[in-house]
Homo-oligomer: A and B are copies of this chain.
Amino acid sequence: MKIALLAGDGIGPEIVAQAERVLRFLMADGLKMELESGLLGGCAVDATGEPFPEATRKLVIEADAVLLGAVGGLKYDNLPREKRPEQGLLTIRKTLNLFANLRPVILYPELANASTLKPEIVAGLDILIVRELTGDIYFGQPRGIEQRDGQRVGFNTMIYSESEIRRIAHIAFQAARRRQGKVCSVDKMNVLECTQLWRDIVTETAQTYPDVALTHMLVDNAAMQLVRDPKQFDVIVTGNMFGDILSDEASMLTGSIGMLPSASLNDQNKGLYEPIHGSAPDIAGKNIANPLATILSTAMMLRYSFNQEIAASRIEHAVKKVLKQGYRTADIFESGMKRVGTVEMGDAVLANM
C-alpha cells in the first residue's frame, strides 16, 4: 500500500504532518504502508514552475492512494490560469480519473453549538454528498475568452455523457444502501438540457436499486432545503459545478469545516483524500490549524482504498474521544474546553489510539 503525501500550501504541511504521525503509528502497529512525499500546488510552482510537476505525476500514478493537505494562496492568484495551484488539483483529478467525490457532512454532537443554525435543525446531521468530479463545466470544451462582434466574450461548456452520469449514479445508490437508503439527485432540468439527461439517466439507473428511494430536486430548491431542513437528506448526488456549491454550503451547516474529510475515487477505488477546508494562508505556520479533517481523511483512505475497516474505525473513534475529552483547536473552541494547537491535537489523537 503506497501512499503519496502531498502537503501543499498554507496550513497543508502542518495538518498533513499530524495525519502522517497517525499513519506511522498504524505502521509501527503492523499495517504495511509506504509513504512518499511530493509537491503539488503553489509550493510546486515555487520549486519547479509547475503546479503539478512530472515527478508528482509519476508519484501519484504509482501510488495506491494520495493524501492531500490543501493548495492555493494569495501570492499565486495572479499567475496565468494554467500555473495556478488549483490547476494542479484539477489535473490530478483528471489524470487519476477520480470521478467520485464523497463528502460526508456530519455534525459531531460535541460541536453542535458551532453551527450558525438552530440546534434542532442540525442536531444529528449526517449527509453524504456524492459529487461528480471529472466532468461538467469544469472540463467541458470549447472554453475560453475571445473576441466576437467587437467585444470579448467568455464561455464554458457544461457537458455530461450517459456513461459519466451512470457511473456516479451507481456510486450514490450503492452508498445509500449502506446508509438510510435515500438518494436525492440534484439538477436544473427545467432550464438545462445537460441536466435533463442527468435526470433521465439517474432515473433509469435507479431501476437496478429498487431498495433505494430516489427523489429529484432542482438546484435552487436544494440550496434552500439545505438551510430549511437539512436532515431531510441522506445521500445527495449531483454534477461537478452544483456539487462544488452545495457541498460547501452543506459543510458550513455544521459550523466546523475543520472537521470534514473527503475522498475522490476512481473506478478501482484508488483515491485522493483531503480535508474539505482550504489552505488558510492567514493562519499557516502558527500551529493553530485543526488537523482533524486531514486525520479523518486518512480514515476514509484506509476504508475506501485499502479496505482496512478496523484501522479506519480506530482513527474515527480516537477523534470522537478527543472531542469528548474537550480538546479543541481555535476554530472549534468554546469556553470550558481545552484549547490546543495543531501538534497537541495530533498528540491527543495518538494518545487515544
Contacts and interface: CB of A to CB of B under 8 A. Distances in A.
Contacts of A152: 161-162, 197
Contacts of A140: 155
Given A219-B245, A220-B244, 16 more contacts: A90-B191, A117-B117, A137-B192, A144-B193, A145-B193, A151-B161, A151-B163, A154-B194, A154-B197, A155-B158, A155-B193, A157-B158, A188-B241, A220-B248, A223-B223, A224-B257
Interface string A250-261: 011101010000
Contacts of A84: 190
Contacts of A252: 223-225, 227-228
Interface string A191-202: 111111110000
A32 interface: no
A178 interface: no
A116 interface: yes
A227 B253 contact: yes
Most buried by B among A137, A198, A253: A137
A163 B150 CA distance: 10
A249 interface: yes
A75 interface: no
This chain's copy number in the assembly:
2
Interface in A121-159: 121, 137-138, 140, 143-145, 148, 151-159
Interface string A224-254: 1111110000000000011011111101110
Interface string A82-123: 001010001000000000000000000000000011100100
A interface bracket (residues with beta carbon within 8 Å of B) = 35 or more
A160 interface: yes
A158 B156 contact: yes
B228 A251 contact: no
A286 interface: no
Contacts of A188: 241, 244
Contacts of A196: 81, 145, 154
Interface in A156-203: 156-163, 188, 190-198
Interface of A: 81, 84, 86, 90, 116-118, 121, 137-138, 140, 143-145, 148, 151-163, 188, 190-198, 219-221, 223-229, 241-242, 244-249, 251-253, 255, 257
A276 to B, nearest CB: 10
A275 to B, nearest CB: 14
Contacts of A154: 159-160, 192-198
B158 A137 contact: yes
Contacts of A157: 155-158
A72 to B, nearest CB: 8
Given A227-B249, A228-B116, A162 B156 contact: no
B194 A156 contact: yes
A242 B143 CA distance: 18
8 contacts: A117-B118, A143-B193, A148-B161, A152-B161, A153-B197, A156-B192, A223-B246, A224-B249
Contacts of A245: 219-220, 223, 242, 245
A245 B219 CA distance: 7
Contacts of A160: 153-155
Closest 4 CB pairs of A and B: A154-B197, A154-B194, A223-B249, A224-B252
